Amino acid sequence: MAMAVSSLLRLFFFFVFFIIFVDGQCLDDQKKFLLELRSEFKFNSSISQILVNWNETGGCCEFKFNNSIPTMNWNETGDCCKWSGIECDGSGHVISLIFPSHGMSGRIGESSALFRLTYLSSLDLSDNDFTTTEIPNQFHRLPNLASLDLSSSGFMGAIPSTLGNLTELVELHLSSNFLTGPIPSFHYCKNLEWIDLSHNNLMGSLSHLHFQGLTNLSLIDLSHNSLNGTIPHHLFVLPSINYLHLSKNQFIGQIKDISIVDSNLFRLDLSGNRIGGPIPNFFFQLHQRLKMPLITPNFSDSIFLLTNNRLTGVIPSSICIASSLSVLDLSFNNLSGSIPPCLVNTRQVLNLRGNKVSGVIPDQFSSECSLQTFDVSNNSLVGEVPMSLGNCKNLLVMNVGNNNFKDTFPCMLSLGLRILVLRSNRFYGDLRCRKGWPNLQILDISSNNFSGRLNLLNISSLRGMVLQSPTQGRLNRSTLTF
């Protein structure tokens, strides 16, 4: 009886392992295509051993029995589904090739064996060396491709328009190459969620056709290119858009106000362009109902980066609509008017540097202030540094230089302060505070009316520099000397 049960168990386990083996074994044609693909590439064996270990020979497996229980030792060189960087489906078709940073070089030709792996769903050749190679036009022969990553690999030339025919495409990463020419239309890629074409040499303008109808698109990064023309309004209201990064291009013109019903956009970066006119009110209506972001699930805050443009007019009161404003950077524009009081509730970074903002800093920093960087330098602000700024216990950087403030030294500031710039104002009085700033690394109080000695400020990190100064850190009316 025991022998019969043992025999049945052995047959059962053999049958299970046989089914698993047959179900997962690489098909012969798939192995052939992979070996042909390997022959097309050059690879640095000192960086990666992955392609070196691909081998046409070898058996699939070996069965051994221990106490009537079968065990199986795989010979990885036999079944290409077991090769490093390869993943197969249950039928033995290759569905994934993942080879980032493996010292690969060479050229992907139009007749490459790659395009015969028609079940391929994911391809990652990022951080390799395909310098002087153009992206081939044959990717439409991979109808199941959902993820394509060719970033940081030296590709040059135009982006093939055939990429826009990949109807299953979810993620496209082509950043940090040498790509030129216009951006093709992707409106057939209805499943597209993430497109990153940043840090290239792309040119031309955008139209409403480029991303029309892409209801799942959550991230567009076209930054650091040479794109021009005006920015299509529909980009701001794509149904799932969370992150829109168009900085460091040559976009021009005025962005007109449009009607917003709902939007999930919480990161907007248009900095480093030539956008003019007033800030449209709808920018700060984009975030009225934030859903859980897809790209940073633990970040429930808004970021607006509009620095280095040609924006004019006042900072609109509609900015107060934006909930959970984390970073607002409007620096280096031509904005005027006063600072809306609600801005003091910005959570991390408030940067209005290099505008024509006037009036006083609102004295409304709350006891829950979490501001880390506060920069209103190079404006036309007057009055005093508000006492409530002392509520910002996390403040690391404060720059109010080149304004018309008239006040004594702001002793109320956070003990964790690292950078303090008060230069070119009308600050006055003795440099004497009851507390010190042990982490302060940069202090600029030049071109003011301070008197006294610097070492009375009790700044331990700068004291050694002061004591070595021939002037003992003494101040005159216009400069601070060490």
Contact (CB, 8 A) for 323 and 288 = yes
Instruction: From 353, 337, 446, select the one nearest 400 (Cα to Cα).
Output: 353
Q: Which two tokens stand for residue 450?
A: 């301070």
pLDDT value at residue 373: 97
Please state, in angstroms and rounded to a whole number, the distance separating the CA atoms of residues 344 and 350.
Answer: 8
pLDDT tens digits, the chain, 482 residues: what are they?
444 444 444 444 444 333 334 345 788 899 999 989 888 888 776 666 666 666 654 333 333 444 444 333 333 457 888 888 899 999 999 999 998 988 888 889 999 999 999 999 999 999 999 988 999 999 999 999 999 999 999 999 999 999 999 999 999 999 999 999 999 999 899 999 999 999 999 999 998 888 988 999 999 999 999 999 999 988 988 889 999 999 999 999 998 887 766 677 888 899 999 999 999 888 877 654 433 333 343 337 788 899 999 999 999 887 877 667 889 999 999 999 999 998 888 889 999 999 999 999 999 999 999 999 999 999 999 999 999 999 999 999 999 999 999 999 999 999 999 999 999 999 999 888 888 888 888 999 999 999 877 766 766 555 433 333 333 444 433 333 33
Residues belonging to the chain: 482
Q: Which domains does the chain have, with CATH numbers?
A: 351-482 (3.80.10.10)
Query: Residue ranges of the alpha helices (H) in 109-186?
Result: none
Q: Is 366 exposed, middle or buried (0-12, 13-18, 19+ CB in 10 A)?
A: exposed
Q: Is 67 exposed, middle or buried (0-12, 13-18, 19+ CB in 10 A)?
A: exposed
Quick one: DSSP state of residue 477? S
Please state, in angstroms and rounded to a whole number, the distance separating the CA atoms of residues 142 and 336.
Answer: 54
pLDDT value at residue 469: 33
Please state, in angstroms and rounded to a whole number, the distance separating the CA atoms of residues 433 and 358.
Answer: 29
| Look-up of token digits 């859980």 | 292
Strand pairing report for 250-254 and 274-278: parallel
pLDDT value at residue 434: 83
In the beta sheet, which residues pair with residue 480?
Answer: 475
Please state, in angstroms and rounded to a whole number, the distance separating the CA atoms of residues 450 and 359.
Answer: 23
* pTM of the predicted model as reported, rounded to 2 decimal places: 0.79
Contact (CB, 8 A) for 190 and 214 = yes
